[in-house]
C-alpha cells in the first residue's frame, strides 16, 4: 500500500529577480486539508493560463523520484521542492499512466498528463539548465483531475489503481514533448485514455491530418 507522505501548500511569492508572483514554493502542512474540484483549498495558483484548472487540479510527485534526484544533486530534497501538491511514497512514478487513480479516504484523483517544466521551475531550483536536466531525467510526476472531493491528511494510505485501458505513461508523454511527428498508432492509443482536455484536442487534430 502506498502512503501519502506529504501535503504541500504554497502562498504567492515573487520569482527571484522578478516582480512576478508564483505558487511553486510549497511547504508541507499538518492536519486535514480539503480537496475541491480545482485543487487544495487555500493553495496558491497564480498563473492560471498554464497551471490549475479541472484537468490540472492536483500535481503529484513521487518519493522514489525524489530519492533519485537527491542522489543526482547530492542533497536531500524535501517534499514540495518541485511544487507538487501531494508527495506519494510506495509508487514507481515513471510507470504511472493516464487514467490511473489514487484514492485517499473519499478523495479520488485521476491522472491526466505529465508535467512540462517551465522557466519558473528553473528559477525555483536556482539553475537555468534545470529544465533540460529535468526533461532528460524523464521523471515528470503526474497531473490529476479530482473525481471525488473530500478531506485528506498526511500519513494516510493511498490506493493506486492502474488504468484498465490503453496504457500511456507520464514518462512516455514527457519523452514526446516537442516531437513534431507523432505516430498515428500512438495518437489512437492516447485518445483511448482520459487525457488532459487540451492534449486531447491537440492529438485529435494531429490524427485528423494523418488520416
Host domain of residue 137 = 2-178
176 neighbors 182 (Cβ within 8 angstroms): yes
What pLDDT is stored for residue 95 in this prediction?
95
Q: Is residue 206 part of a domain?
A: no
What pLDDT is stored for residue 59 in this prediction?
97
State the cell numbers at 141.
510526476
Report the number of distinct structural domains present in the chain: 1
Phi-psi region of 81 (alpha: psi -120 to 50; beta: other; left: phi over 0): alpha
Q: Is residue 187 part of a domain?
A: no
What pLDDT is stored for residue 167 in this prediction?
94
What pLDDT is stored for residue 18 in this prediction?
74
Q: Is residue 132 part of a domain?
A: yes
What pLDDT is stored for residue 49 in this prediction?
67
CATH of the domain at 25: 2.40.33.20
What pLDDT is stored for residue 100 in this prediction?
98
Q: Is residue 52 part of a domain?
A: yes
What pLDDT is stored for residue 156 in this prediction?
97
Closest CA to 65 of 171, 3, 139: 139
Q: Is residue 80 part of a domain?
A: yes
Q: Is residue 93 part of a domain?
A: yes
Q: Is residue 207 part of a domain?
A: no
pLDDT, tens digit only, all 211 positions of the chain: 899 999 999 988 888 777 788 889 999 999 999 999 999 998 888 777 667 789 999 999 999 999 999 999 999 999 999 999 999 999 999 999 999 999 999 999 999 999 998 888 988 998 989 999 999 999 999 999 999 999 999 999 999 999 999 899 999 999 999 898 999 999 999 999 999 999 999 999 999 998 7
Bridge partners of 102, per DSSP, are: 109, 160
Q: Is residue 211 part of a domain?
A: no
Amino acid at each position: 500500500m502506498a502512503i501519502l507522505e506529504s501535503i504541500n501548500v504554497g502562498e504567492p511569492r515573487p520569482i527571484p529577480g522578478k516582480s512576478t508572483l508564483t505558487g511553486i514554493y510549497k511547504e508541507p502542512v499538518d492536519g486535514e486539508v480539503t480537496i475541491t474540484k480545482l485543487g487544495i483549498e487555500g493553495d496558491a495558483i497564480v498563473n492560471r493560463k498554464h497551471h490549475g484548472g479541472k484537468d490540472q487540479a492536483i500535481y503529484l510527485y513521487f518519493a522514489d523520484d525524489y530519492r533519485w534526484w537527491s542522489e543526482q544533486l547530492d542533497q536531500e530534497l524535501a517534499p514540495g521542492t518541485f511544487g507538487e501538491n501531494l508527495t506519494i511514497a510506495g509508487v514507481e512514478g515513471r510507470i504511472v499512466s493516464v487514467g490511473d487513480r489514487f484514492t485517499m479516504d473519499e478523495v479520488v484523483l485521476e491522472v491526466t498528463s505529465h508535467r512540462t517544466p517551465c522557466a519558473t521551475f528553473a528559477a525555483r531550483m536556482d539553475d537555468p539548465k534545470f529544465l533540460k536536466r529535468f526533461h532528460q531525467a524523464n521523471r515528470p510526476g503526474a497531473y490529476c483531475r479530482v473525481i471525488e472531493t473530500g478531506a485528506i491528511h498526511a500519513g494516510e494510505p493511498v490506493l493506486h489503481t492502474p488504468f484498465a485501458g490503453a496504457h500511456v505513461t507520464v514518462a512516455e508523454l514527457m519523452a514526446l514533448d516537442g516531437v513534431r511527428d507523432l505516430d498515428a498508432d500512438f495518437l489512437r492509443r492516447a485518445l483511448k485514455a482520459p487525457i488532459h482536455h487540451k492534449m486531447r484536442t491537440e492529438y485529435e487534430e494531429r490524427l485528423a491530418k494523418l488520416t
